[in-house]
Amino acid sequence: MRNKWCMQADDQMVREVGEEQDDVLASIQLVRGDRSLEDRLFEQLVDLLIEGMFVELRQAYLMAEMTSDAYVAELGILVDALSGAGLLPLRGRLG
């Protein structure tokens, strides 16, 4: 039962992240020419894309598409790659 609740919560989060991505993309077009706002929105978009990767990975685990060991391994690979690229911590959510 817990997995079903988690999957529903994650489905909601996927929808919300997707909607936020759409909003940011639309907003970037509206502020074209204002470098400060463009930069802030681009950073927000990157953060949302990263958040989406974590949510999708969790969904794959909850849908039993991977074992817990595989999930932890993939999570570690993702964190290492993002950290190595200087993309963690997420600026928009934490700062």
Q: Any idea what DSSP says for residue 65?
A: S
Please report how the helices 35-62 and 2-30 are oriented relative to each other, as an axis angle in degrees rounded to 10: 160
Q: Any idea what DSSP says for residue 37?
A: H
Q: What is the pLDDT of residue 22?
A: 95
Other C-beta atoms closer than 10 Å to the C-beta of 88 total 15
CB-based contact 45:19 (threshold 8 Å): no
Tens digits of pLDDT across the chain (95 residues): 446 767 677 788 889 999 999 999 999 999 999 999 999 999 999 999 999 999 999 988 988 999 999 999 999 999 999 999 988 877 654 44
Q: What is the pLDDT of residue 3?
A: 63
Q: What is the pLDDT of residue 75?
A: 95
Domain ranges for the chain: 2-94
Prediction pTM value: 0.80
